[in-house]
Amino acid sequence: MNYTFASATILLILITDPVGNIPIFANALRSVPPARRPWVILREVLIAFVLLLTFMFVGDGFLRLMNLSELSLQIGGGVILFLIALRMIFPQPGHADVSEMQGEPLIVPLAVPAIAGPSALATVLLLVSQAPERRLEWIGALCITMAISAVVLVLAERIQRIAGERFVVALERLMGLVLVAVAIEMMLRGIKTFVQQIASG
């Protein structure tokens, strides 16, 4: 599956799901003073960015170390995306619940897994493994994704107040629907490649 800069950016935005993370961040930051919340959000987004960026640079070595092929990563990544998308469309009861912590949350659960979850990590690995020579494009796509996530999460309270909770839920489910199509396309292309390898081998 050949991604362009634009399609990779959209895919990363769908996977990191900043709109869906709004209630998670709201619950986790409930005990944090309002004036401090934007700085905590920016810190967590930066941590997630560094983690995803690290995976972009060590992705090839990780795949070789684990003896994983690009094909298995593509099919496995498609399955993960599909499951994540289903949860976006049909959220489980208590999906947005996060246990309140004393003080500021650090890394868990906001940076990981809310932003840099398994699907995001698998996606950056897939992008780099398919086109390592375009790494700068993928880094640019990741930068845009993290910037959008930071803006959405910092303005989360205003977005909820202006747009309303129903609109936020509807938008997340629409994003989930698009991600289902992306996941199925990824799996179908992986299966097609696998069948062609068997037929030619």
pLDDT (mean) for 133-148: 96
Q: Within a 10 A sphere around the Cβ of 197, how many other Cβ atoms?
A: 11
- End-to-end CA distance of the chain: give it in Å, rounded: 22
Biggest alpha carbon–alpha carbon distance for the chain: 62
**pLDDT of res. 94:** 53
Output 11 or 169, whichever has higher pLDDT: 11
pLDDT of residue 153: 95
| 3-state DSSP percent of the chain in helix, strand and coil, to 5 | 75, 0, 20
More confident residue, 201 or 86: 86
Q: What is the pTM of this model?
A: 0.83
Q: What percent of the chain has pLDDT over 90?
A: 36
Whether 102 has a pLDDT exceeding 80, the answer reads no
**Per-residue tokens: 81:** 């995306």
**pLDDT tens digits for 33-75?**
999 999 999 999 999 999 999 989 987 787 788 887 778 888 8
Integer Cα distance of 55 and 48 in angstroms: 11
Residue 30 DSSP symbol:
T
